[in-house]
Structure 1
Amino acid sequence: MGKLHIWVGNFESEALFEKYLDQRQYLEAWAVYDHAPPTGDPQQDAEPDKAGRCEFCKETGMDTYDEDAIIVRYYDNFIDAAVVAEDTNADEAALAKLWKKHKPADVNALIAYGDNELSAKKAAGTKRMQYLGSVEETVAGDAGVHHLWVGEKEMLTEKAAGFKNGQPKKIIKALGLNEQEVAAITFYYSGQKEKPDEMIITQIEDFTIAEKMILKADKMKITAAVNALLDIVVNKCAAIDAAAMSDVLGMKYIGKFE
């Protein structure tokens, strides 16, 4: 279980909500800084200006946020605590108490961020969003079924290749999955080929699940090095057409794991 911070609010449009969270320019500036050789000029060699951070990061005092640890939702209608609990795998009873305490109104935007280090004081510094507090997050591996694919870059479809810099929400949308049924999604891509077992053990947090995946891959004789891994965790009642998904991805389906 982990600490899941919850913010809710109201935005006039999805575009404005995305702008509030847009950290691409700041990340790109850091990518240039990390790879550019020093010039000897202190001004040119200075770290990227923190003013370039997204508004959400500025308000919470964060430098950047981990895009794999954040859940972002914009709704076409107002939502309540039950919807938030379902969309975040949060403890529903604890969330209901926070909702009753803060009484948020006209909520159509949600941010849920898993971070055990972020203090409540900093989290409550948001001006554009209302901070409700933190609740316990259900571990995805305990909440659903993992579906695993691996692949080589030469075989990846254009859609799968585009996932390299994609956020989980965008990947879910691109694959035409039901957001309500997806508990978690992990896409990992490496420019250099890696052994399937090494990639699985480093990318799948649940060690028990990872072991099952490695055994299945070995049984299928998938020993050639691969570039990509996709792990989709869905609710146990959800159905995924693995063969159709393999065609969409250009990746090999390993199986489902609980």
Structure 2
Amino acid sequence: MAKLIGNLLSGSLGPYVFRIVNGKQIVSRKEAPGTRKQTLATKAASRLFGDAANLGTQVRKTLAAQYPDLFDRIASNKISGHLFKALSTCKYPQTGHFEFGEDSFALMERLEFNPGSPVSSMMAKIPHVGLMKNYLVVFLSELVIPREFKFPKKSIRCEIVVAVSLFRLREGLMVELAEHQSIVIEKDQVIVKPYEFKFEVPAGCLCLVTVFLNYSTVNKNGWLLIKDNDFSPGCICGAIVTPGKYQGNDQRIWKKMIKFI
């Protein structure tokens, strides 16, 4: 149904669609369902976006323990969109197969889950992620409170949580919940000393590294976590594909997911 905005229409009316673009009225005829023709390229892109969205859903599931019920549609679409761009660069049109390198998913880095409370506004130095043999090392630089690490009002403690989600893309397997480590800092510390989080990771695996800032205050009932849809700092700080082929030499339980071959 079309609505009158000033002297212009916006919406549909009969067989026509009315739009307002730069203050001007644009009118076009409605497309009948099923009449739009897709090329082979657009069909392939549509399938790939669907696969990216599927993988994005699995990424969110692995972080359920750190970020429960806080992924809204905007955050979910951002994750799927970034995965689609990354996967697009890895798929060779001549063969239709994927080729993954260590940095294939690098554009996922610095993706904020909540633009209203980004990690980058609270922490001046996002942790650096590197690969040392079969270990993923997440290095937290020294931070000065409050110049380089901020505490919101009423908060007096922050748990910095680093989580690693693992995906064997070719085999279509994943670890259901991200592995995580954390440190706790207090507002009156003044200095957050450098710290290394270290995770042993298998070969041939996509490792998505996320960091979350869980601030707390205290009331008569004890510690109270300050975390809701308006304030929930979390972001991806690293995305590395470990070289080599999975050797089956770990004790993790792998769950089925979509394959990328």
TM-score range, shorter chain: under 0.3
Bigger proportion of residues as helix:
1
Bigger proportion of residues as strand:
2
Q: Which has the larger radius of gyration?
A: 2
TM-score, normalization by structure 1: 0.22
Indicate the structure whose relative CO is greater, using CA pairs within 8 Å and at least 6 residues apart: 1
